[in-house]
């Protein structure tokens, strides 16, 4: 994801060394079987679940017992020496990974004499949407060089966590078991039927939730029967970017052609997000069908000038609802064309693609020459960057193709009448969090409507409001093409972009919105967000991994939403940025729970834990500004320390109330000399003392019969009483200390 700070762009996703384009990893597989190729061929026929064990070395680092299989459809053949490979590094050892990557996917560069189509395409795509990292790798099997492969990051849980902050929701691949050359395949149409099992052969469900197929069918049903309301289930902007990418680089071995080679992931907001996959036949290497006018194939000349709105302006030989049902909306059509022209302008019209492709070829030149199993000659490799190479089919020269494609797109109707942004500004930049925030946009050209889209964290969906040019909205004078809009009750973090349109075209600021956006921060005040409750000796609350971990509760004391971005928790005043809170929003009068378990189990699991005998906690900004802090005394395994009154008071010992109002329960505050919990109980209960004196404890039935020998307890201590052998009923706990005594009731229910 990228953030624009008023004209400056910064890529916030750093690539791992394994996928850095300047590095060509050396991957060595060692099979014990001399007939490994025959075995892999036979396993390929059995399906994705079958692998052959091997030892693997990546750049000199050894990994034992990995699982290997062949992958691909048209790129695989039992008659080939160089087949695409799928390597599970964690095949036998679940934690085994190379630089954090558990899976390695290697494509054999078939149907691309230039060797740059896939890597170049992914580099372009990553500017506008989540897409895999990609570079090259030299692959050896049993010490024999098999050849140069493209090394493409797998779209799996690690990828989803990085780009969406979650990976445990519905995740599906549009990948039919058998491609029907005259059928709909994974086109997201609803013709297969009204039952989820009707879709099982067309989609590969990667997630394992009990409702995943229901979620997919609900989306398909709404997309086809109620497309005006599909925005609640589909990230429409992300989808328009995918279509714009496919039509810019003529990537038709995708949803466009036979409706395959894409993923869908349902994010935490319930929206499905399309994810590109398998780009080796981009730049018109694949021309078997466009599912429209050229349903029976297209020439290179036709690829150069193919209409990006053909499924709207002409017909679909098989339904393509993910395209047609969106761009039938005139605004989405203009947004789609705006995205398409951005891709063309930023990568192709300026010649950047040729510079990058030439650089890639210079990096791999020696490896290509050494690859004796490549599918085309070295001269084909050199020439295909500029010129068509003919084999069984014609592979267009990338430069020749894209120069003409750029000319065509940039002469598309409406392009020359696009709105132009002069500036985008925050009118009142010194407003504090919770105030209204005014945004203005100065434009030229013919304008119909201008919209402001904003959110308070990357995990949120953008809200959209219309901007005004009436002189009443911090927009200058009336009808002067200066537009303004107000964000009510603005959070401390506001991410936003602008979209402007007229009858024929639209434009975004920044151009790569919504994947890029402007950002404005307003610091929150001291104790707007507080540490509200803490429990370090936890024995009453399980986390999602069924573990009793330390935890704390944060509480938003204000009437506005607070972004947790750039906020940190620590138990070390010398290192206030020990753990960064997740990019999320905490609403007014809302709570958030953080597990202090020194783990990486999830977004709300911090990298430290607390000392039960005493510790401190600090909530601060990255610049060291402290928002809240507390000193924690001795902790016991069934009481917490929380603010009373809730959110504002001092810390008192209390009955734990995670994610609830502190002190909302009867007898919640532990102020007596003796505290008994839990009550009622079943097999055991605890007695905690709150005075620095010695105690004696006796247990009686309700009729006065003593049922337990006298126990002693030091002051400010705690003991556990086994009640598993006692009958159900009410018992009396008699406690004596100094010259005082107290009797409390305990109910036992098994």
Q: Looking at the structure, tell me whether residues 460 and 514 fall in a common domain.
A: yes
Query: What's the domain count of the chain?
Result: 4
User: Residues 473-482: pLDDT tens digits?
Assistant: 999 999 999 9
pTM over 0.75: yes
| Residue 285 reports pLDDT greater than 80 | yes
What is the distance between the alpha carbons of residues 109 and 440, in angstroms, rounded to a whole number? 49
| Residue 2 reports pLDDT greater than 50 | no
| pLDDT at residue 664 in the model | 58
User: Residues 107-160: pLDDT tens digits?
Assistant: 999 999 999 999 999 999 999 999 999 999 999 999 999 999 999 999 999 999
| pLDDT at residue 16 in the model | 52
Is residue 51 included in any domain, yes or no?
yes
What is the distance between the alpha carbons of residues 528 and 515, in angstroms, rounded to a whole number? 30
Is residue 559 included in any domain, yes or no?
yes
For residue 328, give Cα distances in angstroms to 224, 235, 313, 321, 334.
12, 16, 10, 10, 10
Of 407-416, 417-426, 684-693, the range with the lowest mean pLDDT is 684-693
Of 291-295, 388-392, 656-660, the range with the lowest mean pLDDT is 656-660
Q: Looking at the structure, tell me whether residues 720 and 576 fall in a common domain.
A: no
**To which H or E segment does residue 325 belong?**
helix 321-327
Residue with more model confidence, 195 or 14? 195
Q: Looking at the structure, tell me whether residues 678 and 705 fall in a common domain.
A: yes
User: Residues 252-278: pLDDT tens digits?
Assistant: 999 999 999 999 999 999 999 999 999
| pLDDT at residue 671 in the model | 53
| pLDDT at residue 12 in the model | 32
Torsional sign, CA 122, 128, 131, 135: positive
| pLDDT at residue 702 in the model | 83
Q: Which of 623, 654, 685 is the last residue of a domain?
A: 654
Q: For position 689, which CATH number holds?
A: 2.60.40.2550
What is the distance between the alpha carbons of residues 155 and 141, in angstroms, rounded to a whole number? 25
| pLDDT at residue 743 in the model | 80
| Residue 74 reports pLDDT greater than 80 | yes
What is the distance between the alpha carbons of residues 718 and 676, in angstroms, rounded to a whole number? 10
| pLDDT at residue 7 in the model | 33
| pLDDT at residue 15 in the model | 39
Strand-pair partners of 747: 730
Outline where DSSP puts E strands in 502-648. 506-509, 518-521, 529-535, 550-556, 562-563, 567-570, 579-580, 585-586, 591-596, 605-606, 615-621, 626-632, 640-644
Q: Which of 521, 540, 565 is the last residue of a domain?
A: 521
Q: Looking at the structure, tell me whether residues 636 and 685 fall in a common domain.
A: no
**Angle value at C-alpha 235, between 229 and 241, nearest 5 degrees:** 120
Is residue 639 included in any domain, yes or no?
yes
Q: Looking at the structure, tell me whether residues 22 and 142 fall in a common domain.
A: yes
| Residue 419 reports pLDDT greater than 60 | yes
Q: Which of 501, 521, 541 is the last residue of a domain?
A: 521
User: Residues 523-575: pLDDT tens digits?
Assistant: 899 999 999 999 988 877 888 888 999 999 999 999 999 999 899 999 999 99
Q: Looking at the structure, tell me whether residues 144 and 46 fall in a common domain.
A: yes
* Six-digit token string for 590: 């809302």
pLDDT, averaged across the chain: 92
| pLDDT at residue 4 in the model | 46
Edge to edge, what strands does the sheet with 204-205 contain? 204-205, 171-174, 262-266, 272-276
Q: Looking at the structure, tell me whether residues 429 and 466 fall in a common domain.
A: yes
- Are the C-beta atoms of 456 and 495 separated by less than 8 Å? yes
Is residue 611 included in any domain, yes or no?
yes
Is residue 324 included in any domain, yes or no?
no
What is the distance between the alpha carbons of residues 139 and 441, in angstroms, rounded to a whole number? 53
For residue 750, give Cα distances in angstroms to 457, 679, 684, 726.
47, 12, 10, 9
Q: Looking at the structure, tell me whether residues 428 and 356 fall in a common domain.
A: no
Of 36-40, 242-246, 538-542, 718-722, the range with the lowest mean pLDDT is 538-542
Rg (CA), the chain: 31
**To which H or E segment does residue 441 belong?**
strand 437-444
Q: Is 709 helix (H, G, I), strand (E, B) or coil?
A: strand
Q: Looking at the structure, tell me whether residues 103 and 16 fall in a common domain.
A: yes
| pLDDT at residue 667 in the model | 45
Is residue 179 included in any domain, yes or no?
no
| pLDDT at residue 657 in the model | 87
Q: Looking at the structure, tell me whether residues 633 and 723 fall in a common domain.
A: no
pLDDT interval class at 14 (50, 70, 90): very low
The percent helix, strand, coil of the chain (3-state, each to 5) is 20, 30, 50
| pLDDT at residue 745 in the model | 83
User: Residues 75-95: pLDDT tens digits?
Assistant: 999 999 999 999 999 999 999
Is residue 273 included in any domain, yes or no?
no
Q: Looking at the structure, tell me whether residues 552 and 505 fall in a common domain.
A: no
User: Residues 662-712: pLDDT tens digits?
Assistant: 875 444 555 556 778 777 888 888 887 777 788 889 998 888 889 998 888
Give the residue-averaged pLDDT of 421-440: 96
Is residue 462 included in any domain, yes or no?
yes
Q: Looking at the structure, tell me whether residues 458 and 540 fall in a common domain.
A: no
What is the distance between the alpha carbons of residues 8 and 4, in angstroms, rounded to a whole number? 6
| pLDDT at residue 445 in the model | 92
- Are the C-beta atoms of 482 and 441 separated by less than 8 Å? yes
Q: For position 446, which CATH number holds?
A: 2.60.40.10
- Provide the domain limits for residue 539: 529-654
| pLDDT at residue 6 in the model | 35
User: Residues 191-246: pLDDT tens digits?
Assistant: 999 999 999 999 999 999 999 999 999 999 999 999 999 999 999 999 999 999 99
User: Residues 313-362: pLDDT tens digits?
Assistant: 999 999 999 999 999 999 999 999 999 999 999 999 999 999 999 999 99
* C-alpha count within 13 angstroms, C-beta hemisphere, residue 289: 20
What is the distance between the alpha carbons of residues 396 and 737, in angstroms, rounded to a whole number? 92
Q: Which single residue is written with the structure tokens 């497309």?
A: 227
Residues of the chain above pLDDT 70, percent: 96
């Amino acid at each position: 994801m990228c953030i624009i700070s008023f004209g400056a762009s910064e890529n916030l996703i750093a690539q791992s060394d394994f996928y850095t384009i300047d590095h060509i990893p050396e991957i060595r597989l060692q099979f014990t079987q001399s007939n490994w190729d025959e075995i892999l061929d036979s396993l390929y026929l059995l399906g994705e679940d079958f692998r052959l064990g091997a030892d693997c070395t990546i750049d000199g680092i050894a990994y034992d017992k990995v699982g290997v299989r062949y992958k691909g459809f048209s790129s695989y053949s039992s008659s080939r020496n160089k087949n695409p490979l799928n390597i599970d590094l964690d095949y036998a050892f679940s934690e085994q990974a190379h630089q954090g990557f558990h899976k390695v996917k290697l494509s054999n560069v078939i149907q691309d004499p230039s060797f740059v189509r896939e890597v170049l395409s992914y580099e372009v795509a990553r500017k506008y949407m989540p897409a895999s990292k990609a570079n090259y790798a030299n692959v050896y099997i049993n010490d024999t060089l098999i050849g140069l492969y493209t090394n493409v990051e797998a779209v799996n849980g690690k990828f989803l966590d990085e780009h969406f902050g979650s990976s445990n929701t519905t995740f599906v691949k549009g990948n039919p078991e058998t491609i029907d050359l005259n059928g709909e395949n994974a086109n997201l149409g609803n013709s297969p039927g009204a039952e989820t099992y009707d879709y099982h052969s067309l989609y590969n469900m990667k997630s394992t939730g009990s409702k995943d197929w229901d979620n997919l069918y609900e989306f398909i049903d709404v997309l086809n029967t109620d497309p005006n309301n599909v925005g609640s289930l589909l990230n429409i902007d992300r989808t328009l970017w995918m279509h714009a990418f496919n039509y810019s680089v003529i990537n038709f071995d995708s949803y466009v052609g036979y409706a395959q080679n894409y993923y869908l992931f349902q994010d935490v907001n319930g929206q499905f997000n399309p994810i590109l996959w398998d780009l080796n036949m981009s730049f018109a290497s694949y021309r078997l069908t466009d599912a429209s006018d050229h349903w029976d194939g297209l020439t290179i000349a036709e690829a150069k000038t193919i209409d990006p709105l053909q499924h709207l302006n002409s017909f679909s030989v098989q339904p393509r609802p993910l395209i047609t049902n969106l761009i039938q909306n005139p605004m989405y059509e203009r947004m789609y064309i705006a995205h398409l022209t951005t891709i063309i302008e930023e990568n192709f019209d300026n010649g950047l693609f040729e510079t990058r492709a030439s650089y890639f070829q210079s990096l791999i030149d020696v490896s290509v020459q050494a690859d004796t199993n490549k599918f085309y000659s070295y001269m084909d490799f050199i020439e295909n960057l500029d010129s068509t190479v003919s084999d069984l089919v014609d592979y267009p020269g990338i430069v020749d193709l894209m120069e003409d494609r750029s000319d065509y797109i940039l002469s598309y109707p409406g392009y020359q009448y696009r709105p132009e942004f002069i500036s985008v500004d925050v009118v009142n930049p010194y407003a504090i969090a919770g105030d209204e925030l005014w945004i203005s946009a100065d434009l030229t050209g013919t304008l119909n409507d201008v919209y402001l889209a904003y959110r308070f964290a990357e995990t949120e969906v953008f809200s959209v409001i219309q901007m005004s040019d009436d002189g009443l909205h911090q927009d200058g004078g009336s009808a002067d093409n200066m537009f303004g809009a107000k964000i009510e009750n603005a959070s401390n973090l506001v991410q936003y972009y602008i979209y402007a349109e007229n009858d024929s075209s639209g434009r975004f600021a920044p151009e790569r919105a919504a994947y890029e956006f402007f950002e404005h921060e307003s610091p929150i005040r001291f104790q707007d967000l507080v540490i509200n409750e803490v429990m370090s000796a936890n024995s009453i609350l399980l986390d999602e991994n069924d573990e009793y971990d330390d935890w704390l509760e944060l509480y938003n004391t204000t009437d506005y939403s607070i972004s947790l971005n750039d906020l940190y928790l620590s138990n070390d005043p010398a290192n206030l940025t020990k753990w960064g809170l997740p990019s999320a929003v905490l609403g007014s009068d809302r709570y958030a729970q953080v597990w202090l378990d020194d783990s990486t189990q999830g977004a709300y699991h911090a990298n430290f834990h607390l000392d039960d005998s005493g510790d401190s906690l600090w909530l601060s900004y990255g610049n060291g500004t402290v928002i809240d802090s507390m000193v924690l005394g001795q902790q016991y395994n069934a009481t917490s320390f929380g603010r009373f009154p809730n959110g504002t008071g001092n810390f008192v010992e209390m009955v734990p109330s995670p994610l609830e109002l502190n002190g909302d329960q009867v007898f919640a505050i532990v102020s007596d000399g003796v505290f008994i919990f839990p009550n009622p109980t079943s097999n055991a209960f605890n007695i905690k003392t709150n005075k620095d004196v010695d105690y004696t404890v006796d247990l009686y039935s309700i009729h006065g019969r003593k049922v337990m020998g006298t126990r002693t307890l030091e002051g400010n201590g705690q003991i556990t009483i086994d009640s598993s052998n006692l009958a159900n009923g009410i018992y009396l706990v008699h406690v004596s200390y100094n010259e005082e005594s107290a009797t409390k009731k305990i109910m036992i229910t098994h």
